[in-house]
């Protein structure tokens, strides 16, 4: 009563791949498979022009980091870096807010 179970489709395919690798002379490890599948990701950098940010701040009187990111179409981190740079230069000042959710206005 019994006997060997029938292998599933994935197991059959894997055994075929292993037998092909043995025939070609090289043993294929899991590490090799991972190396083949992984692709190098491109690093994306988005730069927000300070002129563009200043226009938005002057037209809105007050602006938060989230609003600036939404209106310019950049990430919040890029908008934050731009506003911090403008804050250090003195062209923008904090008008209110708390705990990282600052409201900025032109100086």
Quick: pLDDT tens for 17-58.
887 777 776 555 555 555 555 666 666 666 777 888 888 888
pLDDT band at 88 (very low <50, low <70, confident <90, very high): very high
pLDDT(79) > 60: yes
Distance of CA 58 to CAs 7, 48, 61, 68, Å?
69, 16, 5, 12
Domains detected in the chain = 7-40 (no CATH), 50-106 (1.10.10.10)
Q: What is the mean pLDDT of the chain?
A: 80
């Amino acid at each position: 009563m019994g006997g060997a179970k029938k292998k599933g489709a994935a197991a059959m395919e894997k055994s075929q791949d292993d037998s092909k690798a043995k025939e070609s002379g090289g043993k294929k490890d899991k590490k090799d498979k991972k190396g083949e599948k992984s692709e190098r990701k491109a690093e994306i950098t988005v730069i927000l022009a300070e002129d563009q940010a200043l226009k938005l701040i002057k037209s809105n009187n007050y602006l938060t980091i989230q609003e600036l990111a939404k209106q310019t179409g950049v990430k919040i981190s890029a908008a934050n870096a731009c506003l911090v740079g403008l804050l250090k230069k003195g062209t923008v000042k904090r008008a209110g807010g708390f705990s990282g959710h600052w409201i900025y206005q032109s100086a």
